[in-house]
Amino acid sequence: MQIRFMRLPEVLACTGTAESTHFYRINQGLMVKAVKLGPRMAGYPEHEIAALCAARLAGKTDDEVRSLVTRLMGARATAMKQAEPAPESAAKPWPIWSK
């Protein structure tokens, strides 16, 4: 599955909110947090923003949207755990042959 990330200006245009409202909603649990993509870059997974816009369009209450945000953030955490490389095995290194 290919994930597309949206930068903040695109998210603001999609949601129709001002930047201050956007961050207020994050603090209230009504919007997902950005994903760090680099030292000075962050983005929002497009499918998460689409889900939140669809919920608002469907007339969901703030509590229902908070529940959706919690589920989306939980799914993100699960996906990140699955994407982590497996820990290196505890196998012993090759024996060093002595003379």
The token pair at 28 is 């209230």
95 falls within a domain: no
Q: Is 71 helix (H, G, I), strand (E, B) or coil?
A: helix
* Cβ contacts of 69 within 8 Å, gap of 6 or more: 29, 30, 31, 32, 52
93 falls within a domain: no
The predicted structure's pLDDT at residue 3: 85
24 falls within a domain: yes
The predicted structure's pLDDT at residue 73: 95
The predicted structure's pLDDT at residue 77: 86
20 falls within a domain: yes
10-residue averages of pLDDT along the chain (99 residues)? 91 96 97 95 96 97 97 89 67 57
Q: How far apart are the first and last CA of the chain?
A: 54
30 falls within a domain: yes
Distance of alpha carbon 3 from alpha carbon 93, whole angstroms: 38
Domain count, the chain: 1
The pTM score is 0.79
Phi, psi for 38 (deg, rounded to 5): -175, 180
Range of 33's domain? 5-83
92 falls within a domain: no
88 falls within a domain: no
